[in-house]
Amino acid sequence: MTSIKDKDAAQLSEGEAVKELARLAKEISGHDKLYYQEDEPSISDAEYDALRRRNGEIEARFPSLVRPDSPSQRIGSKPAERFEKVRHSRPMLSLDNAFTDEDVCDFLGRVRRFLGLAEDQELALVAEPKIDGLSCSLRYEQGELVMAATRGDGTEGENVIANVRTIDDIPQKFRAKKPPDIFEVRGEVYMSHANFAAINKRQEKAGDKIFANPRNAAAGSLRQLDPKITARRHLRFFAYHWAETSNLPGETHWEVLQALKAWGFPVNPLAKRCRNVEEALEFYNEVQRKRADLGYDIDGIVYKIDRLDLQNRLGFVSRSPRWAIAHKFPAEQAESVVERIAVYVGRTGVLTPVAHIKPVTVGGVVVQNVSMHNEDEVARKDVREGDTVVVQRAGDVIPQLVRVIEERRPKGTEPYKMPEICPACGSHAVREVNEKTGQPEVARRCVNTLSCPAQVVERLYYFVSRAAFDIEGLGGEFLQLLLDSGLVKEPADLFTLKDHPEDFHAVFKKHFESISARNAEKRGKAAASKKVKEDKTEYLVGNKLLAAIEARRKVPLDRFILALGIPHVGETTAKLLARFFHSWDAFIAALQSDTAVAELDEIEGIGEVIAQAIKDFFDEKHNRHALDHLLKYVEIENVAVQTASGSPVAGMTIVFTGSLEKMTRNEAKARAESLGAKVAGSVSKKTDLVVAGPGAGSKLTEAEKLGVKVIDEDAWIALSGTSA
C-alpha cells in the first residue's frame, strides 16, 4: 500500500493531506531554524525546496487545510539576538519555486491570467543565476551607505553594517553625479569556492569549526561580532533588486540593473533579458552546464517580469512576489543504510515514522534522518531496518527516501509494522475511518488527545513559536521539563511561572546542565579551559527567559488567533480575520451569533470549511475554559490596518461581481485590499460597496434589495486610482 509521503499531491485524500501537512510543517520548521538562525542546515537546498514544493501543492488542492504553522506563511526565521534589529522598509520576501519547464510555463500562464494579457503579447523576463548565499539589504542616503541588514524573518533583520563595510564588492558611496536621496539595494552575500577552501584549511589548522559549504561560511562570516574576522573571510556580493527608493533609474528591471552596475554595484555578468519563455529555458540549460565552473554556488535561475509597471500590478502573496519565480536545479542523490525506524508523536497525536540512516553527505550536507510520513508510505516503499536506500535532498534541502535497493536487502528482514500503542503515553493508537469514504485514514493517531505528553508539548511549542507569541528560549525540551514538573499544563500557565521562581529555576537548572553537558562532550578536552561559572550563568539566563515571557503579555490580534491552533487557520488566515474584525471583542461577538458560520463564510479567503472549523473550536468547552484562563494574563492588541494615505475606501467592505473588462478580478481585489478595504465574497447588510460588471447576477440583486451602493468598473478605477 502506497504511503502518504510517496503519493502525489493529486492522489491524497483530505485525511491524508491533513497528516502530510502536519509532517511537512514540523520538518520544515526545524530546517528553517538550522538554516536561518544557526547557519548549519542538515539537508541540501534541493531537498528543502522539494519539501516546500510538496507543501504548496497540497495546500493548493486543499486550501481549507492550511495550518497555522504552515511553511507557506513564513519567511526565513527570526533574527538572532547578537545584533541590533532593523525593520525593513519593505519585506524581504522569499520566492516560489519551479522544478520543471512546465512549472515555469505555468508561472507565466498565471501571470498572463492575472494581468489579462493575450498569449501573443510580449512578456519579457530577466533571468539571473540564483546565488546560494545570504540575502542582504543596503540602504543609501544621498549616495552614502548608512545601513545594512540581513533578511531575518522577512520583516525584521540584523544590523550588520560594520561587517558589510569590509566587503570590497559593496561601494561605500554611489558612483553617480546625482544619486537618489534614498535607495535600498538588495542582493546576495556569498563566498567563492577558492575562499571557502582557504578558510576551511585555516579553520582545520587552528582546530576550529569546519564549514559544511560556502553558504554556511558566508552566513557565519557576515554575522561575526568582530568585523575584523569578516574582513579576513573575503566575502563577495551581487546586487539583484531594490526596496525603498526616492527615484528609480528605469522603467524595467533590466534598466535598473544596468543603472546599479553603472553606480558601482556588481551585477551577475550572466544575467540576461529574455523575450519569451523559450529564451529563458535555453538560458537555464546553458547556465546549468556552466554551473561547476562558475567558482561560486548557485542552485537555480530566477526569472522576473521585466516591466516594472507589470510587477506593481502583480504585487505579492503572503511570502513571495507574483512577478518572480526560482527555477531550481535537480536534486542530488546518495545511498545509505536504514539503521532503525522510529516513531514520533506530533502535536495532533499523529504517529510519524522516521528512518534513521547511516550519515551520508548529499549535496554538501550530512543527512541522517528521513521522515516517511505514515505507515502507508513505509508499506508502499517496503522500507525495512537494514535496507540500503537511495536518498535525496528535494530542492537541495529536504531529505527524501526515494527507493529501496531490494537486491541488497539482508536476508531474514521483516516488513515494518507500525505500533498500535502510542510510544509517548501508552494509549491506543488507531487509524480512524473517513466517514465519507468508509476507508481508514492514512495517519495513525493517539486517542489520548487531552493528556498525551507529546501532544501537550507540541501544542505549547506551537503557542510560543515565532509566528505566534514568539517567546524566545522555550524549546520543546524545556517545555517537556516544565510539563513533567507540573508547572505548566496549558498556555496560561506560562505566565504564572514568575510566581514560582524557585521551582522555575530548579527546572531551568536541570535543562541548563543538560545543555552544558552536551556542549562539553562536543568540546572534549577543550571544555575544561572554556568552562564558565554555570550556576550564575543559568540563573541569569533563566531570568532572561522569564523576562521574555513577561514581554509577550501584550500580543497583536492576528498572532493571538494563530497561537490558538485553530484547525485550518494559518498565518495568512489569522491576519485576514484580524484585519476584518479589528478587535478580539468584535471577533468573539461575531462567533456568538447564530449566523456566525455564514458571516465568516462571507469573508473573502475564508470559505465554509474554515468558517465551520473556527466556530467548532470556540464551541468546544475545553477550549473555552483554557481561553478564559489565558485571557486573565494577556492583553490583545488590535491590529492596525495599513492603508494608502487618503484612501477613499479604507475600512469599507467591498464585493466584486460580474465580469471586469479593464482588469482581472484578482487585480481589483488586490487593489482594494492595498487601500485598506475588506473584500467579501457575498453581499450582506455589512457590505458598503458593490462593484458590478457585465453579467452580475444574484449579488447585484441582493445589493439592490438591501440598498447597498453599486458602481461599475469605470467608477471603481476612478475611485481607487487604478491605471486602466
Q: Would you name the residues annotated as active-site residues? A: 130
All three cell numbers of 590: 461575531
Of the candidates 57, 53, 67, the residue with the CA atom closest to the CA atom of residue 18: 67
Q: What does each C-alpha distance from 482 to 176, 302, 346, 459, 516 come to in angstroms?
A: 59, 46, 18, 14, 18
Instruction: Report the C-alpha dihedral over residues 596, 597, 599, 600, rounded to 10 degrees.
Output: 110
Cα 155 to Cα 147: distance, rounded to the nearest angstrom: 15
DSSP secondary structure code for residue 689 in this structure: E
Cα 439 to Cα 351: distance, rounded to the nearest angstrom: 18
Name 48's Cβ contacts closer than 8 Å, sequence gap at least 6.
Answer: 28, 31, 35, 41, 393, 394, 395, 396, 397, 398
> Over the range 570-580, which residues count as b (16 or more CB within 10 Å of their CB) and which as e?
bbbbbbbbbbb
All three cell numbers of 281: 529555458
All three cell numbers of 547: 523576562
Name 581's Cβ contacts closer than 8 Å, sequence gap at least 6.
Answer: 557, 587, 590
Cα 252 to Cα 420: distance, rounded to the nearest angstrom: 60
Name 412's Cβ contacts closer than 8 Å, sequence gap at least 6.
Answer: none
Beta bridge partners of 653: 678
CB atoms within 10 A of CB 492: 17
Phi, psi of 8 (to 5 degrees): -65, 150
Rg of the chain taking only CA atoms, in angstroms: 27
All three cell numbers of 105: 510555463
Cα 463 to Cα 495: distance, rounded to the nearest angstrom: 13
Could you tell me how far CA 315 lies from the centroid of its own chain? 18
388-394/333-345 β-pairing? antiparallel
Of the candidates 700, 693, 697, 691, the residue with the CA atom closest to the CA atom of residue 660: 693
Phi, psi of 92 (to 5 degrees): -95, 100
For 261, counting Cβ atoms within 10 Å of its Cβ (0-12 exposed, 13-18 middle, 19+ buried), the class is middle
Cα 651 to Cα 643: distance, rounded to the nearest angstrom: 9
Angle between helices 101-115 and 665-674 (to 10 degrees): 70
Within 306-445, residue ranges assigned H as helices are: 308-314, 375-381
